[in-house]
Amino acid sequence: MELYHLRSFVAVAREGHLTRAARRLHTSQPAVSSHVRALEEELGLQLFTRTPRGMRLTAAGRDLLGPAGETLAAVAALEARARNLAGSLTGSLVIGVRSDAAMLRLDAIYRQLADHHPGIELTLLQAMSAQVIEQISDRRMDGGFVYGPWSRERFAGLLLTRVRVRIIGPPAWQQRLDGADWQALAGMPWVWTPDDCPFHLVARSEFTSRGLVPARVIEADNEATIASLVASGVGLGLQLEAGALAAREAGRVSLWRQEALAMDLSFIHLRERGDDPLLQAVSGAVREVWQPAAAS
């Protein structure tokens, strides 16, 4: 069994398509197909069902996907440790980000990493916190910044800070918001967020604890989209405090001044990859820049 057989198997499983897997691996479609076929022959198992729409894992394929990914991760960690022992820590990591670069202090983290480990290359991918957690779980990302809760059993991470979230409204609604309590807020139209969004979780907790259900008129999963819809008069929404205050100062939104909501900002990675030298280096740079509140 060759490592490239496993890499092709994992890539096809994640992409669900031979051509996309080949593009991901920077090779040809026939080569990927040949690797999968060779692995199936060696294992004596059918790993995929070929369909007109692509490749679907069989029960055996689903059962072997996790161990295959863990094997490739172990090999990558071994290679990284060997490079570290040789005095040159090099490699690449994919890091998930949720907010803008300034909010996450990415420029300072990059400078810290470049000063101490110039051989590490970072790829930053924008995604919602739930997507970052999902993609770290299936190893499409190596680590990431997330808002809200995450599993301490599966992940290790640094709690960086508590961020404040503000309720914003259309610019003409300031007087309406000034006299509003939670019940009045629930009766106003809302630009809501998906169930797995940390903004949703923190707002739902406040409404549920008071026996209230907000009047949701539209759903959006992007903070800039939410702010734009609020500014155009659609309804209330949530925004990180720094952005909300700037938008209020510019006259784009009104602000409910009574309370600020709060949620955690963390940097996380798979707990089982805690010995990975590359992740240790990036976590060290994050820790140095943020001087985090806690680690676990």
On whether both 14 and 100 belong to a single domain, the answer is no
pLDDT at 293: 54
On whether both 151 and 213 belong to a single domain, the answer is yes
Taking CA atoms, 219 is separated from 151, 223, 239, in Å, by 26, 11, 14
- Domain limits at 62? 3-81
pLDDT at 84: 63
SS3 string of the chain? CCHHHHHHHHHHHHHCCHHHHHHHHCCCHHHHHHHHHHHHHHHCCCCEEEECCEEEECHHHHHHHHHHHHHHHHHHHHHHHHHHHCCCCCEEEEEEECCCHHHHCHHHHHHHHHHHCCCEEEEEEECCHHHHHHHHHCCCCCEEEEECCCCCCCEEEEEEEEEEEEEEECHHHHHHHHCCCHHHHHHCEEEECCCCCHHHHHHHHHHHHCCCCCEEEEECCCHHHHHHHHHCCCCEEEEEHHHHHHHHHCCCCEECCCCCEEEEEEEEEEHHHCCCHHHHHHHHHHHHHHCCCEEC
Instruction: Provide the number of structural domains found in the chain.
Output: 2
On whether both 106 and 201 belong to a single domain, the answer is yes
Q: Could you tell me if 87 and 59 are in contact, meaning their C-beta atoms sit under 8 angstroms apart?
A: no
On whether both 175 and 254 belong to a single domain, the answer is yes
- Mark which of 81, 101, 131 sits at the end of a domain: 81
Residues in Cβ contact with 69 at an 8 Å cutoff, skipping those fewer than 6 apart: 10, 138, 139
On whether both 75 and 194 belong to a single domain, the answer is no
On whether both 283 and 156 belong to a single domain, the answer is yes
On whether both 10 and 138 belong to a single domain, the answer is no
pLDDT along the chain (296 residues), means of 10: 88 90 86 91 92 90 91 83 68 88 91 89 91 91 94 93 94 94 96 87 92 94 90 95 93 93 94 90 94 60
CATH number for the domain harbouring residue 20: 1.10.10.10
Give ∠ CA 271-110-115 in degrees, rounded to 5: 105
Model pTM?
0.69
pLDDT tens-digit readout, 85-100: 655 678 899 999 987 7
On whether both 61 and 95 belong to a single domain, the answer is no
Q: Assign residue 151 a region: left if phi > 0, alpha if psi is -120 to 50, beta otherwise? A: beta
State phi, psi for 169 to the nearest 5 degrees: -140, 175
What whole-number distance in Å separates Cα of residue 185 and Cα of residue 215?
9
- Mark which of 81, 109, 128 sits at the end of a domain: 81
On whether both 283 and 144 belong to a single domain, the answer is yes
Q: Could you tell me if 174 and 255 are in contact, meaning their C-beta atoms sit under 8 angstroms apart?
A: yes
- Mark which of 81, 114, 141 sits at the end of a domain: 81
What whole-number distance in Å separates Cα of residue 161 and Cα of residue 151?
17
